[in-house]
Structure 1
Amino acid sequence: MATFGHFYPLIPLAKAAVEAGHEVAFATGEQFHPTLTALGIEPLTAGMDMFAVMAEASGRPDHDPRETRANATPEELEAMVSRAFGTVLPRRYIDDLGPVLAERKPDLVVQEVGAAGAAFAAVLAGIPVVGHGFGRVSTDDSTARAIVREQREFARGLGLDLPDAQAFGLPFVDICPVSLQDKGFLASADRIELRPVPFAQPGPLPALARADRSRPLVYLTLGTAFGAAGLLSEAIAGLAPLDADVLVAAGPTIDLDAVGDLPDNVVVESWVPQADLLPYTDLVVHHGGSGTTLGALAAGVPQLCLPQGADQFTNADAVLRVGAGDRLLAGELGGLTDKARVLLSDVDVRDAARALAEEIAAMPSPIEVARRLPEYVKPA
């Protein structure tokens, strides 16, 4: 899908495939084409960004999906998300990729699992498919089950009978370490383990990260998709009392002017090179998105999750379960200062985060997996 959290996780394998001598074309939204070109990867156009997908799925394409989402009941929100990933995106990917696959006839399609339509288009064209995850998989989440039901119904309309198995029975490139991954998924999936390698657009680290550290550095982000200025301001207010420096990435959805006046120990940037920043941090406070969750774990940094929707709740639950951090749900932000202060000093949490970092470092590298890709190509 044409959004950062679904695009960045696929970059390491795509780069490695080029290095391994494979011819690689990457289909995504045009906003990401300059990044691909700079990496020596051929860009193709396909898919939609999160705002467009959710707006169309809501039935109100001219309205801000954040507003629609905020006013929806849990049942309405689940139906909207299942339509987005079960029907709207698949239809768009089939329309965009069908002609490309017919013309290019690739040997293999590596499909980001949020874009099931890419797999449907490949199957219809007789091309083998490998799925590629963007984080932890959940088998017991009602929204995830609703998405799969919608996808199967859509596929039946195409004449495809999807197998009743995780990831539709496809080989699955899994960037989530076993300790964090869903146990039901581990028991049933055809996994190709791949080390999650954080990716960020090149750029200078903020001065706060490069300064001589006399006190901890806390990093706050609400991600790139549905961050809200009110929640960000509330989180900043909760972190400001700490004896720490606080670096905030507002992201593309938040106007910096909406954040208001800042305490002396807080710096807000529109964007930071997160992959480069994480090793300098002592605590990451974030929305629970897959990229930030895995990036913090790969850096061995404790985290405090503030989940708002989608897979963020199951990611936060998993972080709590493995002891590498904590979470605060809606209505609990009054406890943010105390939670963060404990996490900055809790040796057990830091040890758990470092143990996850060691587990991640031992996973197969992108170049190792790229060299295996021909195994999944059908013989001529």
Structure 2
Amino acid sequence: MRVLFSGVPAYGHLLPLAPLIDAAFAGGHAAGLLTSAGVGELITTELPPGVDHLPAGPMPLAFSEETAQRTGANVFQPTPATIGEIFGGTRLDRTADAAMPLVRQWQPDIVVADAFDTVGPLLAAALEIPWHQVGLGPGLPAGITGEITRVAAARYTDRGLTPAPARSYIDPCPALLRDPGWTSPFPGLPIRAQAHRRPGDATLRLDPPPSGRPRVLVTLGTIFSEPHLLDAVVDAVRGHEVDLVVTEGLSIHDENDSPENTHREPVEHSGGAAVRYVPFTPLAELLGDTDIVIGAGGSGTVLSALVHGIPMILWPQGADQEITAARATAGGVARTVGESGEITEALSALLDDDSYRNTATKVAGEIAGLPGPREVLGAVIGASR
């Protein structure tokens, strides 16, 4: 079976596909990834070896800026209508036709697309093959999915195609994070979430925290890890006697960008936090000795923390982070803050109140009982025959 994975060219969209890509190889199937050429380094370092990269379409900054030019909307504080234009309009316009000859040549049997990706489903319709959708975290509200679908529908009409529903919705979200009013848009297939790890051995080995000191991991993800935001978090935690590990983040840049090297040396604070900065590192390498995670509410971070039974403090910065943070807070595994100054009190609460960790541990057990990627991929292939 030839399985084509299709995703928005960003870490938070492509890394959740990695376990399924790995499962495809383990099952003796061919795996290809359709996404922008700008993520070549991600594919070689963060995904299983042997993925066929089908490069097509622009990077997020380019198609977001083009959406702003087309609509006049603020794409950094998008409404559902703007999200629809970004993913169902501009990115689809700029990617689908360029991808078509590559995909026809690769000859997939099925397509597996991330929840924001509209390119893979359109190409599946053109090739008349089944497709499946992968959720990234809590299911997207109907107001957002409806706008993406509505805008994309015109692109199908222009090409004489008829949209087809996904054969399944692969859902990594444990029940605690699921909105009670949300229903799966397609037949649901639960999957066991995993903290991201690189293929092969771990590349970073952290010493255990000093005796008696809890370890706090600060990770604002790959998009919102600007130095001033990280500094604000460190300042808020500085007075606590904790072992503080801060990930500096890593964005996928457009081809002409040159990201600055912002790596900083460890800082010891007498009577307070001992601070250590580390470069972008897969979360699986950092969570083993971690007691509390401070993050922005990205789905990958929240799910990874829950896999390890770790409570969180969440400071949403954009995208769908407020949705995920709200669900984690309602479920009793996190506290959400609106500004960095609130982190100090929130950290004291999590250090003093075991209920957050107890609930997170319970959720970790629920996640561990879900089907793994190989089992889910087998179900996907079975549903596609």
- TM-score per shorter chain, which class? 0.7 to 0.9
Comparing 182-191 and 95-104, the one that deviates more: 182-191
The 8 Å contact of residues 93 and 115 in structure 1, kept in 2 or not, is answered as no
Q: 1:198 to 1:46 in 2, by over 3 A?
A: farther
Aligned equivalents of 1:353 and 1:320: distance in 2?
11
| Aligned residue in 1 for 2:175 | 178
- Aligned residue for 1:59, secondary structure, equals helix
- Aligned residue for 1:54, secondary structure, equals helix
The 8 Å contact of residues 83 and 150 in structure 1, kept in 2 or not, is answered as yes
How far does residue 43 in structure 1 lie from its aligned partner after superposition? 2.7
Aligned equivalents of 1:34 and 1:356: distance in 2?
32
Within 5 Å, which residues of 2 pair with 1:1-380? 1-28=8-35, 29-35=39-45, 39-59=49-69, 74=77, 79-139=81-141, 142-162=143-163, 168-186=165-183, 189-201=186-198, 203-207=202-206, 209-253=207-251, 257=262, 264=269, 265-329=274-338, 332-378=339-385
Task: Give the number of equivalent residue pairs.
Answer: 360
The 8 Å contact of residues 263 and 279 in structure 2, kept in 1 or not, is answered as no
Q: Which amino acid aligns with 1:49?
A: M
Aligned equivalents of 1:213 and 1:155: distance in 2?
60
How far does residue 83 in structure 1 lie from its aligned partner after superposition? 2.1
Give the aligned CA root-mean-square deviation in angstroms: 2.8
How far does residue 32 in structure 1 lie from its aligned partner after superposition? 2.6
Unaligned stretches of 5+ in structure 1? none
How far does residue 250 in structure 1 lie from its aligned partner after superposition? 1.3
- Aligned residue for 1:304, secondary structure, equals strand
How far does residue 90 in structure 1 lie from its aligned partner after superposition? 1.9
Aligned equivalents of 2:47 and 2:197: distance in 1?
15
The 8 Å contact of residues 46 and 197 in structure 2, kept in 1 or not, is answered as no
Comparing 26-35 and 122-131, the one that deviates more: 26-35
Give TM-score scaled by structure 1 length.
0.85
Aligned equivalents of 1:187 and 1:45: distance in 2?
30
The 8 Å contact of residues 210 and 243 in structure 2, kept in 1 or not, is answered as no
Aligned equivalents of 1:187 and 1:104: distance in 2?
30
How far does residue 137 in structure 1 lie from its aligned partner after superposition? 1.1
The 8 Å contact of residues 98 and 125 in structure 1, kept in 2 or not, is answered as no
- Aligned residue for 1:326, secondary structure, equals strand
Identity rate, percent: 28
How far does residue 268 in structure 1 lie from its aligned partner after superposition? 1.6
The 8 Å contact of residues 20 and 374 in structure 2, kept in 1 or not, is answered as yes
Aligned equivalents of 1:37 and 1:134: distance in 2?
17
Q: 1:52 to 1:227 in 2, by over 3 A?
A: farther
Alpha-carbon deviations, 1:3-51, whole Å to 9, x = none? 1111111110111111112222222332333137752333332344332
Unaligned stretches of 5+ in structure 2? 1-7, 252-258
